[in-house]
Amino acid sequence: MQNSVFSPAMVADVVDHLKIVDLAQATIGQVVLLAQELERRTGIPFIRMDQGVPGLDPNRVGIAAEKEALDRGVAAIYPAAEGVPELKAETSRFVRAFLDVDIAPEGCVPVTGSVAGSFGSFIATSQCTPGKDTVLFIDPGFPIQKSQLRILGVKYRQFDIYAHRGPGLRARLEELMRDGDICAIVYSNPNNPAWICLEEEELRVIGELATKYDAIVLEDLAYFAMDFRRDLGRPFEPPFQPTVARYTDNYILMLSASKIFSYAGQRMAVVCISDALFGRRYPALAERYAGAGLFGSTFINAIMYMITSGASHSVQFGLAAMYRAASDGRLDFVADTREYGRRAERMKQLFRDNGFYVVYDRDVEQPIGDGFFFTIGYPGMSSGELMRELLYYGISSITLTTTGSEQEGIRACTSRMTDGLFDVLGERLRAFRADHPERP
């Protein structure tokens, strides 16, 4: 590795210093600390492809509305557990404008980021029905969600969708759900980390089987409308963001402000519970929480309030303003986030030019789009080996192994790639390839 930026000895020393037991299984947080420590020791900047933080400026509409709310004194007032009426109403309208789905404002519940939303949803869905105690992950996916289940002691199953796209999805889901113990199905769309986008027929299958086996779908829409192959940014006009909500009443949608409005620092998302599920009564919930057992009120008052006691008051007004502007057609948030697609296209080409390949490279009937994430492999290298070797060249990432994928490779994030870094990335990839001739 005569062309490397950091020596294996230095990387190993930092790994030992941070007490990382297995680099191939390192969490996102551990990789972030590793890259930061190497930068601190040497002054040499990394190409940071590890953590999915926004790489755009926060939306000014939200900032202005939040400042106005603070000036009105909301910081001194506890927010209602169910959320402020303005945000609930504007979320319902936003869902109608961009998904063509009707969800009543009462079912739109603000939470402190989708991480909190999924945590509360896992608690609720795993307690609804005795015997339904297992969550099913359509992987690859967000590693933190499995960590949440470990904290809760909730069982889960998982499968890599790579070999089960299109017609093969129904058979695989039936195989995993026929025992009747699945309480929830989880996936992100567009997908973190693979950036695959489930197609309408696949969503139909998921919805039909969720109804058949009485499971609740948790659809993570953190990268809302970021399938840039279609124009999903026109309110109340097709095409709309694909969603399972068209095919079942058993669903919870998670809409985060972090990426679509670059509002990650304010920790704000909305959990959107279908009307049918919100008002559904579960005897097991009534017994556990000594209440009526209604899913929606249990989720808000018996679960989420115990976790966060509501979501930040001023930020709710900021998000309401951004949703309102988007639904009015005054804020084209998709035009803003399209920058991630442009970065991905350039990054992928640099990797391909240097012997790498895109791992998840197709949806069912078309090549995968360009967006916030993509996946990369190198001939003859396992996920852990590739992640470690790239560290020596000043490129940080996470392994696909940690995301539930059965494929070999890494996840690359585009958000921190500014124009001045593309030449650096190209130089480091050429050095990597010089030191790593492709294996037969």
Over residues 16-25, the mean pLDDT reads 89
Containing H/E element for 148?
Answer: helix 143-152
Q: Is residue 437 scored above 90 in pLDDT? A: no
Q: Is residue 440 scored above 70 in pLDDT? A: no
Q: Is residue 46 scored above 60 in pLDDT? A: yes
Percent of the chain with pLDDT over 90: 95
Domain ranges for the chain:
8-56+333-435, 60-328
Question: What architecture (CATH level 2) is domain 60-328?
Answer: 3-Layer(aba) Sandwich (3.40)
Matching fold, domains 8-56+333-435 and 60-328: no
Query: Do 409 and 23 contact (CB within 8 A), yes or no?
Result: no
pLDDT digits (tens, 9 = 90+) for 331-370: 999 999 999 999 999 999 999 999 999 999 999 989 999 9
pLDDT digits (tens, 9 = 90+) for 54-110: 999 999 999 999 999 999 999 999 999 999 999 999 999 999 999 999 999 999 999
Over residues 302-330, the mean pLDDT reads 97
Q: What is the pLDDT of residue 403?
A: 95
Query: Do 382 and 408 contact (CB within 8 A), yes or no?
Result: yes
Q: What is the pLDDT of residue 23?
A: 85
Q: In whole angstroms, give the CA distance from residue 320 to residue 357.
A: 41
Q: What is the pLDDT of residue 439?
A: 63
CATH number of the structural domain 8-56+333-435: 3.90.1150.100
Q: Is residue 1 scored above 70 in pLDDT? A: no
3-state secondary structure (DSSP) of residue 161: helix
pLDDT digits (tens, 9 = 90+) for 273-284: 999 999 999 999
